[in-house]
Amino acid sequence: MSERFDRGHALLDSIHHGGGAALVDALSDIAPDLSRYIIEFGFGDVYSRPGLSLRDRQLATVAALTAMGTAQPQLVAHMEGALSVGITKEEIIEVVLQMALYGGFPAAMNAVAAARDAFAAWDVRSVQPEK
Amino acid sequence: MSERFDRGHALLDSIHHGGGAALVDALSDIAPDLSRYIIEFGFGDVYSRPGLSLRDRQLATVAALTAMGTAQPQLVAHMEGALSVGITKEEIIEVVLQMALYGGFPAAMNAVAAARDAFAAWDVRSVQPEK
Amino acid sequence: MSERFDRGHALLDSIHHGGGAALVDALSDIAPDLSRYIIEFGFGDVYSRPGLSLRDRQLATVAALTAMGTAQPQLVAHMEGALSVGITKEEIIEVVLQMALYGGFPAAMNAVAAARDAFAAWDVRSVQPEK
Amino acid sequence: MSERFDRGHALLDSIHHGGGAALVDALSDIAPDLSRYIIEFGFGDVYSRPGLSLRDRQLATVAALTAMGTAQPQLVAHMEGALSVGITKEEIIEVVLQMALYGGFPAAMNAVAAARDAFAAWDVRSVQPEK
Amino acid sequence: MSERFDRGHALLDSIHHGGGAALVDALSDIAPDLSRYIIEFGFGDVYSRPGLSLRDRQLATVAALTAMGTAQPQLVAHMEGALSVGITKEEIIEVVLQMALYGGFPAAMNAVAAARDAFAAWDVRSVQPEK
Amino acid sequence: MSERFDRGHALLDSIHHGGGAALVDALSDIAPDLSRYIIEFGFGDVYSRPGLSLRDRQLATVAALTAMGTAQPQLVAHMEGALSVGITKEEIIEVVLQMALYGGFPAAMNAVAAARDAFAAWDVRSVQPEK
């Protein structure tokens, strides 16, 4: 693959342990190019730009997906990514609370449900010995 | 007014010079309670919570309004607020670029137009002597 | 035209004085069938159903368009329609305030701007002698 | 808690039997302040305003959440709330049908699914002896 | 029923084998008029217009529902409808990939999940002998 | 620039005469990388894929932007692009009418306004001698 793919794949793996391969696997049956674009363009081009820290980027994404309210699975994944780059659970909830102002209270409530899933997955992984 | 109003009004003024009074004025003709709620609840309750820096909060709001695409005037105002709490123009553009991934390219293009307005207003104010 | 069209046109005229003809005129250049569908289906089929009062229907529409945030010209028109069926300006503002809970504060702020336009148009018409 | 909380909690309980406590419980693990804000601001400040009847408010909320299409659990809850303040099942369906005009037919179809859940929960509660 | 209903029902059946009756059945308990409107207006009036091929219409609908992100069950159904009028699986995935540009990557990822369901249902039906 | 940029730029120019340079110019002041990404990724990667005709792609984009309702300037531009690849004005209006079913009537009405702008711009260009 391209240099952009390699850079994106490495960044995705650094945020989500094994995330690059998992994303490729998840879409390989019917939409392999979608995973390639997410890795090449999303992570290789955009997320790897130097102008903003990964902490800022994950915060921005959690805020946007909470307010949009149409991307529940991706919100869970990015909340895990937020924890992975050092954002605390309390800070994620702060973002969610704030988004009630912009996306409304139902959006914030649904994001709390996403946070519950993300925090539980994170806690399970944190106590497991690394394979 | 209440302590919540005072706290929100002071915070709003610290982000936007004279912003508290301007918001009250703007809605005083037909919806005075909306400005009161934004100040009391939005700024007095939520933005003034200690769990997240103002820099993080403005970043999150710029991200969300960019991705939503339905709040152009508010996006301009919050981009000015972002500049006011120390976020650079370059960082605002980074957030906008990133939001192309979540809200799509038209949302990012429209946010660039908002940024152009916000940056111009900021530059004008920056060279004016304080009244 | 059909009975459904006649029923819808009459209902539209009863809400907006001359509204049926105005809607037909507005879209007659490139999308005449869209005005026909709005009149036949929107007003002739749906709004003329007996199960809900016109007051309830206009209230519901103002609420929905405020929360959606993507239909500013139609929101202005339906706020005028709301006034026309006896909803007061104060009640319209109450709906807008409430929608801050569901569509967020920017949606409510933009709906206040729509209300200002609708109220001004209404006031002008109210002092004009009927042609 | 504050007077605003008490007022909101009482109103929430009057609409949903035991709803205030249920909402606090549901979010107490990771986002207790979100339930507090919904009760204080949503119900204590906004829903308890005298300018609009509870019937009108529930009607407006059902309309908005149907059209938005991003708040299915909250739509079910507010449809139950609508039944609780005296709106009939037939009137709820009327609102849903009307929202096809503004949010599109898929939004209306999904709201029918929400109504089915809300009506079933309501019927179960209606035949149960009060605890 | 009306001529519009008959025309819509026949068209719906030609796209989805038995789809007309299935839609009527699905909503007959609490919202029978919604299925009637979808058939009369959606299929009888709009989809049966001669100005665009059914292939073009299904392509447009798959694109729109993917980008909107609020109509997952309807997206699955219309992807099956797209296959039924001769659009290939590969073409559906092309539309989904393209919509990442307008609705964002999460919308495209969720549409891939819808496509997986639609393709599986289609494959099952394709190997079953016609009843 | 890259091969992807060149391919995207050429494709954009073939759809919109001089469109590639215009897009670069429009964003060069504060967001040059956004125009680069639109050209490289949007046109160089996605639109230039062989799996769907340009006619299908423009049809899909017009449908999606109409239903979303948050991208009016981009909808005008893509309607001009649709005309440029051979879609007729009547077919564009057909797509808009159909989108009333999915995005609601206000979305369709606003898309008619976009079509009016796009058709007018197209007509002006069609009678001008090529520079």
Q: Compute the distance between CA of residue F94 and CA of residue E47 in angstroms, rounded to an integer.
A: 9
Is B22 or C45 the better-scoring residue by pLDDT?
C45
Q: Taking all residues of chain A, what is their mean pLDDT, rounded to a whole number? A: 95
pTM, 2 dp: 0.97
Which member of C52, C57, C101 has the closest CB to residue D42?
A: C101
Query: What is the share, in percent, of chain B residues with pLDDT greater than 90?
Result: 86
Cβ contact D93–E31 (<8 Å): yes
Choice between E91 and F21, residue whose per-residue pLDDT is larger: E91
- Chain A contact probe: residue of B35, B102, B105 with most A CBs at under 10 A: B102
F129 to chain B, closest Cα gap in Å: 31
Q: Distance between CA D81 and CA D23 in Å, rounded?
A: 14
Q: What angle do CA F13, F15, F20 make, to 5 degrees?
A: 30
Spatial CB neighbours of A129, under 8 Å, sequence gap ≥ 6: none
How large is the average pLDDT for residues E25-46? 96
Q: Which domains does chain E have, with CATH numbers?
A: 1-51 (1.20.1290.10), 52-131 (1.20.1290.10)
Q: Residue C125: which pLDDT band, with cuts at 50, 70 and 90?
A: confident
Distance between A65 CA and the closest CA of chain C, angstroms: 15
CB contact under 8 A, F104 and D104: yes
Burial pattern B9-36, b for ≥16 Cβ within 10 A else e, equals bebbbebbeebbeebbeebeebbebbbb
Pair A80, A16: CB distance under 8 Å: yes
Chain D CA closest to residue A110: D71
C108 at B interface, C-beta within 8 A: yes
Show the CA angle centred on residue B33, arms to residues B27 and B37, nearest 5°: 105
Residue A131 in this model has a pLDDT that exceeds 60 = no
8 Å CB contact between C78 and C117 = no
Chain E residues in contact with D115 by the CB 8 A cut-off are 30-31
pLDDT tens for each residue of A13-58: 999 988 888 999 999 999 999 999 999 999 999 999 999 999 999 9
Q: Exposure of C55 by Cβ count < 10 A (0-12 exposed, 13-18 middle, 19+ buried)?
A: middle
Report CA Rg, chain D.
15
Cβ neighbors of C29 (< 8 A, separation 6 or more) are F116
Tell me which H or E stretch contains A75: helix A72-84
Q: What is B66-103 written as a DSSP string?
A: HHH-S-HHHHHHHHHHHHHTT--HHHHHHHHHHHHHHH
**Helix D3-15 to helix D19-27 angle, to the nearest 10 degrees?**
110
CA pair distance D111, D107, nearest whole angstrom: 6
User: In this complex, is the C-beta atom of F69 within 8 Å of any C-beta atom belonging to chain C?
Assistant: yes
H-type alpha helices, D28-104: 32-37, 54-68, 72-84, 89-103
Using H for helix, E for strand and C for coil, what is the string for chain C? Answer: CCHHHHHHHHHHHHHCCCHHHHHHHHHCCCCHHHHHHHHHHHHHHHHCCCCCCHHHHHHHHHHHHHHHCCCHHHHHHHHHHHHHCCCCHHHHHHHHHHHHHHHCHHHHHHHHHHHHHHHHHHHHHHHCCCC
Distances from the Cα of B69 to the Cαs of B73, C60, C70, F27, in angstroms? 11, 23, 9, 18
Q: What is the pLDDT of residues C17-29, one digit of tens each?
A: 888 889 999 999 9
Q: Using the beta-carbon criterion (under 8 Å), do B30 and C89 form an inter-chain contact?
A: yes
Alpha carbons within 13 angstroms on the beta-carbon side of residue B15 total: 27
Mutation target for A interface from E109, E117, E119: give the one with most A CBs within 10 A.
Answer: E109
The position carrying tokens 């796009």 is F118
* Average pLDDT, integer, range A85-100: 98
Residue E64 has a pLDDT of 98
* Cα–Cα distance for residue pair E33/D100, rounded to 1 Å: 12
Rg (CA), chain E: 15
Structure tokens at F39: 């050209």
Query: To which H or E segment does residue E99 belong?
Result: helix E89-103
Residue F80, pLDDT above cutoff 80: yes
In terms of Cα–Cα distance, which of E116, E102, E104, E64 is closest to A27?
E116
E57: distance to nearest CA of chain C, Å?
17
| Residue C33 pLDDT class (50, 70, 90 cuts) | very high
Q: How far apart are CA B10 and CA D99, in angstroms?
A: 41
Q: How far apart are CA F110 and CA F103, in angstroms?
A: 11
Interatomic CA distance for residues E87 and E90, integer angstroms: 8
Instruction: Quickly count: other Cβ atoms within 10 Å of residue F130's Cβ.
Output: 5
Between CA E106 and CA E114, with CA E109 as vertex, the angle to 5 degrees is 125
Closest Cβ–Cβ partner in A65, A97, A99 for B102: A65
Q: Work out the average pLDDT over F77-85.
A: 96
**Complex prediction ipTM:** 0.95
| Residue C131 scores a pLDDT above 90 | no
**In the numeric block, which tokens belong to residue B62?**
């710029």
Token look-up 């369906």 returns: D93
pLDDT score of A80: 96
Q: What's the average model confidence in pLDDT over C84-106?
A: 98
Q: Pick A94 or B127 by higher pLDDT.
A: A94
Q: Do A45 and F45 touch (CB under 8 A)?
A: no
Which chains, if any, share at least 3 CB pairs under 8 A with chain D? A, B, C, E, F
Size of the C and D interface in Cβ pairs below 8 Å: 97
pLDDT tens per residue, range B55-100 = 999 999 999 999 999 999 999 999 999 999 999 999 999 999 999 9
From the list C46, C93, C101, the residue facing D97 with the nearest CB is C46
In our burial notation (b when 16+ CB lie closer than 10 A, e otherwise), range A29-51 reads ebbebbbbbbbbbbbbbbbbeee
- At residue C97, does pLDDT exceed 60? yes
Q: Give the gyration radius of chain B's Cα atoms.
A: 15
> Mind telling me how many Å the CA of C58 is from chain B's nearest CA?
20
F3/E111 Cα distance (integer angstroms): 30
HEC profile for chain F? CCHHHHHHHHHHHHHCCCHHHHHHHHHCCCCHHHHHHHHHHHHHHHHCCCCCCHHHHHHHHHHHHHHHCCCHHHHHHHHHHHHHCCCCHHHHHHHHHHHHHHHCHHHHHHHHHHHHHHHHHHHHHHHCCCC
Q: Which residue of C has its CA nearest to B71?
A: C106
pLDDT in tens, E45-77: 999 999 999 999 999 999 999 999 999 999 999
| E1 has pLDDT over 90 | no
Choose the closest CB to B102 out of E67, E101, E104. E104
Q: State whether residue E37 sits within 8 Å of chain C by CB.
A: yes
Q: Does B102 touch chain F (CB under 8 A)?
A: no
Instruction: Calculate ∠ Cα A60-A66-A72, nearest 5°.
Output: 115
Inter-chain touch B27–C112, beta carbons under 8 Å: yes
pLDDT, residue A126, reads 84
- Contact call for residues A30 and A60 (beta carbons, < 8 A): no
Q: What is the DSSP letter of B18?
A: T
The single residue listed with the structure tokens 């309210």 is: A69
The pLDDT of residue D17: 86
Q: Decide if C46 contacts C62 (C-beta within 8 A).
A: no
| Contact yes or no for B104 and F29 at CB 8 A | no
Which candidate from B30, B33, B74 shows the least CB-CB separation from C106?
A: B74
CB–CB of E81/E43 below 8 Å?
no
The answer to whether residue C37 neighbours chain B at the CB level (below 8 Å) is: no
A86: left (phi over 0), alpha (psi -120 to 50) or beta: left
State how far residue A131 is from chain B, nearest Cα, in angstroms: 32
E50, burial (CB in 10 Å: exposed 0-12, middle 13-18, buried 19+): exposed
Alpha carbons D110 and D116: distance in angstroms, whole number: 10
* CA A67 centroid distance within chain: 15
Say which residue, A94 or D22, is predicted with more confidence. Answer: A94
Grouping H, G, I as helix, E, B as strand and the rest as coil, residue E86 is: coil
Per-residue confidence (pLDDT) for residue C104, from 0 to 100? 98
At position D57, the amino acid (one-letter code) is R
Distance (Å) from the C-alpha of residue A131 to the closest C-alpha of chain E?
28
Q: Does A106 touch chain C (CB under 8 A)?
A: yes
Q: Which DSSP string corresponds to E67-85? A: HH-S-HHHHHHHHHHHHHT
Q: Is the pLDDT of residue A114 over 90?
A: yes
